Amino acid sequence: MPYLGQQDHELPWLPPDLVRREEVADYPTDFEAMPATTIELLTRRGEQVTRSLLDAHTPRAVSHGRRQDRLPTTVPARWIH
């Protein structure tokens, strides 16, 4: 199961632009608004970890012909300060 705290060295493959665990691991788990750059790092890492695990463990479920490097990310404006 993918999670943001996944150890990088345990991923099946590492994308060249991987957001490293250390870049997001210490972000506080509070309910304060996040800067847009933090949201970008967290969502990009989540997408990368999920893609790495899906590609390795369910290759037929991933359509490589239509694969996107990044999925669209939208968040409510109140989360961004």
Residue 80 included in any domain: no
Type of residue numbered 50: T
Residue 73 included in any domain: no
- The residue with greater pLDDT, 56 or 59, is 56
Q: Which whole number is the average pLDDT over 63-81?
A: 49
Report the pLDDT value the prediction gives residue 70, as an integer from 0 to 100: 47
DSSP string computed for 35-51: -HHHHHHHHHHHHHHHH
Report the pLDDT value the prediction gives residue 62, as an integer from 0 to 100: 65
- The residue with greater pLDDT, 62 or 24, is 24
DSSP secondary structure letter of residue 67: -
Q: Which whole number is the average pLDDT over 68-73?
A: 47
Q: For residue range 14-51, list pLDDT tens digits in order.
A: 888 999 999 998 888 777 888 889 889 999 999 999 98
The pTM for the full model equals 0.68
Q: How many domains does the chain have?
A: 1
Residue 72 included in any domain: no
Residue 76 included in any domain: no
